[in-house]
Structure formats: structure tokens, C-alpha cells
């Protein structure tokens, strides 16, 4: 099965201003290459719904 996906080479926002997925953000990168969005500003992307605890000891 072939999947045609573009390589993303410049930082690109994951969301459009409407909150929907930015089509330009769909693809693959050699390194992380996203920019924060206004709705994600100040949000800890690594934290889960319980405030960052993974439940593992």
C-alpha cells in the first residue's frame, strides 16, 4: 500500500484559526517541525488530563 505524504521542511501550525487541522501540517518531517497555536499557548503538551501524571511509579 502506497501513501503519498509530503515532507514538511518548515515550521507549520497544526491548527487553523478555526481550530481545525491545518492541511499543510499533514505529512512527515525529519525532525519535529511544528509551531504552537494560540489555543496551545501555555499548555504543557506532555501533560495528560490528570495534570501530567502518567500513573506509573
Higher pLDDT, 47 or 3: 3
| Residue 48, pLDDT above cutoff 60 | no
DSSP-derived secondary structure letter, 25: G
The span from the CA of 29 to the CA of 46, in Å, is: 20
Please tell me the predicted confidence (pLDDT) of residue 47: 46
Distances (CA, A) of 1 to 7, 24, 27, 30: 18, 23, 16, 22
The predicted-structure confidence for 7-30, as pLDDT tens digits, reads as follows 999 888 889 999 999 999 899 988
What's the predicted TM-score (pTM) here?
0.50
Amino acid at each position: 500500500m502506497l501513501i503519498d505524504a509530503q515532507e514538511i521542511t518548515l515550521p507549520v501550525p497544526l491548527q487553523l484559526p478555526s481550530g481545525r487541522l491545518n492541511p499543510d501540517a499533514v505529512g512527515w518531517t525529519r525532525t519535529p517541525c511544528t509551531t504552537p497555536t494560540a489555543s496551545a499557548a501555555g499548555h504543557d503538551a506532555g501533560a495528560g488530563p490528570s495534570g501530567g501524571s502518567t500513573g506509573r511509579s
